[in-house]
Amino acid sequence: MRLPMTRTRFLSLALSFVAASVTATPQASAATPVPVSTSTSVRATTESIVLAGGCFWGVEAVFQHVKGVTSAISGYSGGDKATAHYAIVSSGRSGHAESVQVEYDPAVVTLDTLLNVFFTVAHNPTELNRQGPDVGTQYRSAIFYSTPVQQQTIAAFIAKLQASKVYRRPIVTVVEPLKGFYAAEAYHQDYMKKHPDQPYIVFNDKPKVANLKIRFPELYVEG
């Protein structure tokens, strides 16, 4: 059975069709930067973590169904603002990873629980610079932390996971400080909700959400 085309090829074909009929300025299609705030006076009841685990469509969709998550935004992290555009990121030369900024209420769901979901259903942390049919450093497994507490929590979680020997292969997830998160273009946001029958979504991402419901029924919420 022939597998569905990769997400990048699908988008390339779709966007070529759109470009033929609509002329857009570079500013119109650019990713929107999301400032990283260190203030504790604004939205003090929520925290955020940036996770990269392959195509951001599926990671975003998984966390949109997790109880306590207030928002999940697809975007880019690891590179510079100037290269935070899908056309550049998809080349694999921008330094960015497709990422999801997960904002959550720590009174409802802990970072440890979010990491458990990330490592067990949102992606495979043993695949180096790829996830499923998508290959390249832009699909690497990574976590971008913004506080020392997050860094310590992540390091402890990964150490525990490695010690448990749940995976037969080494965990290759990179943990690094968050330099910036840039929201992806509008057409990437809520992609699974907008295109539930798109072949890539059906084959690669819907099973992740279904697995979340099976493995973490107490966390699963309809979204």
pLDDT tens per residue, range 159-218: 999 999 999 999 999 999 999 999 999 999 999 999 999 999 999 999 999 999 999 999
pLDDT at 223: 74
Pick from 75, 83, 82, 85: which is nearest to 51 by CA? 75
Asked if 95 contacts 79 with a C-beta cutoff of 8 angstroms, the reply is yes
CA dihedral over 77, 113, 128, 170, signed as positive or negative: positive
Q: Is the pLDDT of residue 29 over 90?
A: no
Asked if 157 contacts 143 with a C-beta cutoff of 8 angstroms, the reply is no
Which of 2-16, 124-138, 173-187 shows the lowest per-residue confidence on average (mean pLDDT)?
2-16
CA distance 68 to 41: 20
Active site residues: 55
Average pLDDT value for residue range 100-124: 98
Q: Is the pLDDT of residue 39 over 60?
A: no
Q: Is the pLDDT of residue 117 over 70?
A: yes
CA distance 110 to 217: 16
Average pLDDT value for residue range 139-148: 98
Which of 40-44, 83-87, 120-124 shows the lowest per-residue confidence on average (mean pLDDT)?
40-44
CA distance 185 to 31: 5
Q: Is the pLDDT of residue 82 over 50?
A: yes
**Chain position carrying tokens 């539930």:** 196
CA distance 74 to 56: 6
Q: Is the pLDDT of residue 79 over 60?
A: yes
The domain 45-215 is classified under which CATH number: 3.40.50.300, 3.40.50.720, 3.30.1060.10, 3.40.50.1100?
3.30.1060.10
CA distance 63 to 26: 30
Q: Are strands 97-104 and 181-183 parallel, antiparallel or unpaired?
A: unpaired
Q: Is the pLDDT of residue 127 over 70?
A: yes
Domain boundaries, the chain: 45-215
pLDDT at 37: 40
Asked if 200 contacts 132 with a C-beta cutoff of 8 angstroms, the reply is no
Asked if 191 contacts 200 with a C-beta cutoff of 8 angstroms, the reply is no
Which of 12-16, 25-29, 39-43, 208-212 shows the lowest per-residue confidence on average (mean pLDDT)?
25-29
| Mean pLDDT across the chain | 87
Asked if 142 contacts 99 with a C-beta cutoff of 8 angstroms, the reply is yes
Higher pLDDT, 29 or 104: 104
Q: Is the pLDDT of residue 155 over 60?
A: yes
CB burial readout 178-206, b (16+ within 10 A) else e: bebbbbbbeebbbbbeeeeebebbeebbb
Please give the model's pTM, rounded to 2 decimal places: 0.82
Cα-based angle 78, 204, 114 (whole degrees, multiple of 5): 55
